[in-house]
Chains A and B, each alone.
Chain A
Amino acid sequence: DTAVSQTPKYLVTQMGNDKSIKCEQNLGHDTMYWYKQDSKKFLKIMFSYNNKELIINETVPNRFSPKSPDKAHLNLHINSLELGDSAVYFCASSLTWDQPQHFGDGTRLSIL
């Protein structure tokens, strides 16, 4: 079983639409993260939740809203999608926030 799983794997949509990406981890970890990897492969953290509580919120447009219904799930909702949102979005988790992070397989978002 995949330890950190994301759905969908691919997301192709039009500018202006709203979309969600889901993430689930079965590792029993307390901390979950969202990262964005741009076309130049640069990885940058967006958000982090610890036990359902937001602990990192980088300078991300407020069109991006994470939600953690429980500590095993962290979803990302994006409103009014823009061309610049095209990227691969990775979910990750760690036992606690100072332990190694393990990544999911990513969601490739393409905006037409």
Chain B
Amino acid sequence: GENVEQHPSTLSVQEGDSAVIKCTYSDSASNYFPWYKQELGKRPQLIIDIRSNVGEKKDQRIAVTLNKTAKHFSLHITETQPEDSAVYFCAAERAGGTSYGKLTFGQGTILTVHP
């Protein structure tokens, strides 16, 4: 089955700096890669996702890059703000096949943005 490794487990940055979180996956057939943000005591919220037919996607201050050959994908947050502080999860899925929406999550990264 799919295995997703996420690094780092904790990340501390100063406000205004950039933050990068990296994930690797094991199943070369995986083709859908969402990122979720979870604030303390709240639900995971989808912040950006990418499918394997593109290499990069941006939405304002956040971007995701995908390297299918190396089987890794990354989340980039620029101009970080204190409200970006949360746990971030990457996930991978073999969408459209017999995985039926089975998302495999990474272990999470605790991002702290210091004012």
Contacts and interface: CB of A to CB of B under 8 A. Distances in A.
A100 B46 contact: yes
Given A41-B108, A43-B89, A103 B45 contact: yes
Interface in A56-98: 56, 90, 94, 96-98
Nearest to B46: A100
Contact of A94 (B44, B101, B108): B101
Nearest to A4: B43
Interface string B13-57: 000000000000000000010101010001111100100000000
Contacts of A44: 105
A55 B44 contact: no
Contact of B100 (A40, A56, A90, A104): A56
A65 to B, nearest CB: 19
Nearest to B49: A100
- Please indicate which of the listed interface residues B43, B46, B49, B102 has the most CB atoms of chain A within 10 Å of its own CB: B43
A22 interface: no
Given A41-B87, A102-B46, A97 B101 contact: yes
